[in-house]
């Protein structure tokens, strides 16, 4: 009887152990499976996040093309001192501008032209000697444009396409003949008429709108002061400074 009980107890014990083992193995497998599932779901959620992030990035890009654009343009330079000062200020603020330079100032300060180009500014043609187009000097004017583009292109190794004709006088036939695009302006604070930077700032801020092209001259200390104040003020208002190319073609 005792033996029988012992056998039964032993049998139960063995059964328990083996059942336990089976359960343990099954549970272990389950755990493993669970782990794999979690891994898979983590991978899936990572994939979802990656898509979501990519989607977010897309929407950021889409939004970023929707910003308020504005362009600063500077004529008559480069000036050996004021242009460098202006470039320093623009660089500090992460701002690009467009410089319409004359051929005669370009050959005097090629290093400044090189710096403009390296820092992402757009360089355009403003004739060789700041010539005003008249009925009588069409050929001469054309030659000045060609000579100016040549000296700039030699420095920056890039084709010059944009031109700001001095005093805004232009002949449309040049556009096809020379493959050039004239760029006028929409805001003129007459910065060359005053040495009072605050007056210039006031004039620009008072009338500026999205997609405006502001005309200034990097040839005066007051213009440098005014231009940088304009940048600070308009950046504060949510404007982004771009080159004229982005205003004309985006
Ligand atoms: Zn000019």
Q: SS3 sequence, 98-133?
A: EEEECHHHHHHCHHHHHHHHHCCCEEEECCCCCCCC
Mean pLDDT of 42-69: 45
Task: Considering the candidates 195, 217, 232, 250, report the single residue annotated as catalytic.
Answer: 217
Mean pLDDT of 32-57: 38
C-alpha 239 to ligand 1 mean position (Å)? 26
**Quick one: 85 and 206 in the same domain?**
yes
- pLDDT category at 7 given cuts 50, 70, 90 is low
pLDDT of residue 67: 85
**Quick one: 58 and 11 in the same domain?**
yes
pLDDT of residue 6: 52
Task: Considering the candidates 75, 191, 212, 218, report the single residue annotated as catalytic.
Answer: 75
**Whether residue 86 has pLDDT greater than 70:** yes
Mean pLDDT of 153-172: 97
**Quick one: 125 and 241 in the same domain?**
yes
**Quick one: 45 and 124 in the same domain?**
no
Percentage with pLDDT > 70 across the chain: 74
Query: Number of H helices and number of E strands within the chain?
Result: 9, 7
**Quick one: 40 and 132 in the same domain?**
no
pTM: 0.74
| pLDDT tens sequence across 111-161 | 999 999 999 999 999 999 999 999 999 999 999 999 999 999 999 999 999
User: Would you call 217 a catalytic residue per the annotation?
Assistant: yes
pLDDT of residue 19: 45
**Quick one: 147 and 199 in the same domain?**
yes
C-alpha 143 to ligand 1 mean position (Å)? 17
C-alpha 79 to ligand 1 mean position (Å)? 13
- Picking from 19, 36, 66, the residue at the C-terminal end of a domain is 66
pLDDT of residue 43: 37
More confident position, 27 or 121: 121
**Quick one: 42 and 157 in the same domain?**
no
- Cα torsion at 108, 114, 116, 117 (round to 10°)? 140
**Quick one: 16 and 131 in the same domain?**
no
Q: The CATH number of the domain where 127 resides is what?
A: 3.20.20.370
- pLDDT category at 250 given cuts 50, 70, 90 is confident
Q: State the Cα–Cα distance between residues 33 and 165, nearest whole angstrom.
A: 75
User: Would you call 121 a catalytic residue per the annotation?
Assistant: no
* CB environment 151-182: b (16+ within 10 A), e (fewer): bbeebbeeebbbbbbbeeebeeebeeebebeb
H or E stretch including 149?
Answer: helix 138-156
């Amino acid at each position: 009887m005792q033996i029988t009980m012992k056998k039964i107890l032993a049998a139960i014990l063995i059964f328990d152990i083996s059942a336990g083992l089976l359960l343990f193995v099954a549970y272990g497998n389950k755990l493993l499976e669970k782990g794999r599932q979690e891994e898979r779901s983590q991978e899936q959620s990572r994939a979802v996040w990656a898509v979501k992030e990519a989607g977010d990035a897309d929407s950021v890009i889409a939004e970023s093309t929707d910003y308020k654009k504005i362009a600063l343009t500077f004529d008559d330079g480069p000036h050996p001192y004021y242009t460098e000062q202006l470039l320093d200020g623009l660089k500090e603020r992460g701002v690009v501008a467009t410089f319409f330079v004359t051929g005669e100032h370009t050959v005097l300060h090629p290093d400044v032209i090189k710096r403009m180009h390296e820092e992402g500014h757009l360089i355009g043609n403003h004739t060789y000697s700041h010539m005003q187009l008249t009925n009588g000097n069409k050929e001469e004017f054309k030659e000045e444009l060609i000579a100016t583009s040549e000296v700039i292109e030699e420095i920056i190794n890039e084709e010059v396409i944009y031109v700001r004709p001095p005093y805004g006088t232009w002949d449309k036939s040049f556009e096809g003949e020379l493959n050039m695009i004239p760029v006028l302006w929409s805001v003129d604070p007459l910065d060359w008429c005053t040495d009072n930077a605050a007056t210039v700032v006031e004039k620009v801020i008072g009338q500026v709108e999205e997609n405006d092209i502001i005309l200034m001259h990097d040839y005066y200390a007051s213009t440098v002061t005014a231009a940088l104040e304009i940048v600070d003020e308009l950046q504060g208002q949510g404007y982004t400074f771009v080159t004229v190319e982005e205003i004309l073609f985006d």
